Structure 1
């Protein structure tokens, strides 16, 4: 059996920057970790990245930074999703940005820099032209990536909350009142509010809003619905309210997001 690049190739040369661009080719990259930090950008579909504590949603025209040593698995929506990876060795002068998991929009500047990497693959030797370009990509990230987007949902641990989350996942398109939810599962509103914060680190409204927006992104990427139809499908009767909520989460309007999907393929 040939070992996958992410199991063996990435860390063979501890001083190199490793590059891998290819179709996913599989619907699951099993749990693994690297000695290098990972810059992951994808095109052509949806990718979920699962760590030990959270599931991250990586939409088109965004990238995820995964620090070294973080165990993670990758779940693309299709084998045809394009994956673009750069793996960077840790350095003594690395700032806190490089030590934190996060999802960020791919700015126009980063997009242009990523175009230089399209034909790279394997180890980029220290001092080479490609290594210098890749190093510049890493160096600029803390300066231009200021919005770590909340495109992640934690795993509930409390059995009572697991049932509630399953209910929300099945009924994200319905208008669910917190008071009704508490009553349905035998809680007072105050007790359920505390449970959400203690177990998930966020409120019911925060969790349910992110859940709905992630579903909206899935529907928009499929391109089978208009923005109005997507808004209704995820429980919003008001398109302006949906658009404003989407903007607060991703920093762009739904129409802007759709126009930016798979942008590398058009250049």
Structure 2
């Protein structure tokens, strides 16, 4: 995988002036589909199906279906997906030093209709698209020029990257037990740490409480289940630890900004 990744990145940066186009890049059978790397072009990745997670040195960005992420050139990141079905449409775009500030910030955004249609025009393209290509280049260049206008309202689908080794073990355990109602006291006992100390560790390392962290990762997993279109709302609620559908729906709304049913309908309309 590493050798293939290195060869691919060489192709991306080989022509510094081209916009490099690639689709369905990520091998969904591997949880960690693209290890930490950088490139000399900015990256626009639109998630057409499934969900994607992008990890930088500071944060983990969660990219649900029908959203896209912009990653500036030179920003180290890894990409992975737990979804069994995920399609990524990616453009690697050269950015000049004097171009607008937007291109220097990582962000996750919902795709509007115009961006979606422009991206769908690229679905059969692959490799370098150069300015001399009068048929294809104007479309990908339009995407680059319009991105700052498309991307005025980033979605806060992020969690801070955990630095503490013990807290990382706790996080892995929580991610593997999202369907269980776990109390902070139980968690502290399992990992042989004082409850108050564990509470302070969450606040110190990622600046959010245990309850908020557990709620966020549950809701992000709920989005993953919604995108699969295999489960009812009640089944998804149960899978992420909620016995009450109204409570699940209200919590989802507080974190995501939409009701689960509205989110699912919106995804189907955009696809």
Once the 2 structures are TM-superposed, how far is the Cα of residue 129 of structure 1 from its aligned partner?
4.6
Cα 1:227–1:92 change in 2 (3 A) is same
Preserved contact between residue 24 and residue 83 of structure 1 (Cα < 8 Å)? yes
Number of the residue aligned with 2:36: 31
**Structure 1 residues 94 and 9, CA gap change in structure 2 (3 angstroms):** same
Secondary structure in 1 aligned to 2:69? strand
Residue ranges of structure 2 left out of the alignment (5+ in a row): none
| Pair 1:46 & 2:48 matched | no
TM-score, normalised by the number of residues in structure 2: 0.81
Question: In the aligned structure 2, how far is the partner of 1:246 from the partner of 1:93?
Answer: 40
> Residue 255 of structure 1: which of 257, 261, 264 is its match?
261
Contact 1:44 1:262 in 2 (8 A): no
Q: Distance in 1 between matches of 2:49 and 2:145?
A: 27
Q: Does structure 1 residue 67 correspond to structure 2 residue 72?
A: yes
SS in 1 for 2:234: helix
Number of aligned residues: 264
C-alpha separation in 2, matches of 1:5 and 1:42: 23
SS at match of 1:6: helix
Following superposition, the deviation at residue 180 of structure 1 comes to 5.9
SS across alignment from 1:118: coil
Contact 1:23 1:80 in 2 (8 A): no
Per-residue CA distance 1:43-80 (angstroms, 9 max, x = gap): 33333333334433322111111111122233244686
1:91, distance to aligned residue in structure 2 (A): 2.1
- Aligned mates of 1:31, 1:142 — CA distance in 2: 26
Offset of 1:35 from its aligned partner? 0.2
Equivalent of 1:102 in 107, 110, 113: 107
Asked if the contact 2:5/2:34 (under 8 Å) is kept, the reply is no
Q: Secondary structure at the match of 2:179?
A: coil
- In the aligned structure 2, how far is the partner of 1:160 from the partner of 1:22? 35
Equivalent position to 1:142, from 142, 148, 166: 148
* CA deviation after TM superposition for structure 1 residue 39, in Å: 0.3
Residue of structure 2 equivalent to 1:89: 94
Q: Distance in 2 between matches of 1:9 and 1:78?
A: 27
Aligned to 2:241: 235
CA shift at 1:86, angstroms? 0.8
**CA-atom RMSD in angstroms:** 3.0
SS at match of 2:153: coil
Partner of 1:146: helix, strand, or coil? coil
Secondary structure (helix, strand or coil) at the match of 1:18 reads strand
Among 184, 194, 207, the residue aligned to 1:187: 194
Give the 3 Å change call, closer, same or farther, for CA 31–236 of structure 1 in structure 2.
same
